[in-house]
Amino acid sequence: MSIHLVIIDALNLIRRVHSAQPDESDIARTANTTCRTLQRIINESAPTHMIAVFDHALQDRGWRAELLPSYKQGRKPMPTGLHNGLEQIQQAWWELGIDSLLSEGDEADDLVATLACKVASYGEKVTIISTDKGYCQLLSPTLQIRDYFQHRWLDAPFIEQEFGVKPSQLTDYWGLTGMSSSQVPGIAGLGPKAAQAILTQFTDIEHAYASEVLASKYRKKLDQEIEMARICKQVATLKTDIELGFNLQDIRFEPKS
């Protein structure tokens, strides 16, 4: 039997639905709206397996903040009402047949990446439902990312248009330009056009840094800040080797009556 695993980036979906509600204190409405959204996703994607991955409520900024103290520093916390209503939302999703996975020491993004890549490595189909372009570094022939809210696929042509690089070069791109939404600085003075130029000529940061033909206007910046570029790339790179503690059979999608 062919497999289609659908992974929901849970807080990504919930936050967008919740912020659009006329009364943000109405958790029941948020739960109902997310359930309708998930039912449409189910109808469109016909999953054989499905799971929603959440960051743990008490999750700190983890190993990335140890590498880069500015990482997600000062990020606006989740509204208290929404935080308190997450169990109600998870229960509503459970009643649709969707189990929830809560991260412990790792960020939800790394759990999603590990599960998605493990299943895709066997040639099985995986769809990640998220607006987060960070997942695009994982793209493969059987792994796709769906931005449900914009009704678009975050695929290789999208990455080419949006960033001017290949999906496999995204972490190098962010190592150079940084990621403002996560307070990842990159190299000061190197913007998207410079990153595109460097990564069009070279496959990655290391090849550019080692090359004798790197343009002098980029050479000085890389010489000064290569270690920061390396750290930012590492922070932008999703982990795909986390111990998950369950198997695919555990998340078979069986709609509950």
Binding annotation for Mg(2+)? 109
Quickly count helices (H) and strands (E) in the chain: 10, 6
User: How does DSSP classify residue 152?
Assistant: E
Tokens of 15: 């936050």
Among the residues of the chain, which ranges form H helices? 10-19, 27-45, 62-67, 80-94, 108-120, 156-163, 170-177, 192-201, 205-210, 216-236
Give the Cβ contact number of residue 87 at 10 Å. 12
Annotated binding site: 109, 176, 185, 187
Phi, psi values for residue 225, rounded to 5°? -130, 25
What is the strand order of the sheet 4-9 is part of? Answer: 99-102, 49-54, 4-9, 125-129, 143-147, 152-153
Of the candidates 90, 85, 98, the one whose C-alpha atom is nearest the C-alpha of residue 39 is 98
Annotated binding site for K(+): 176, 185, 187
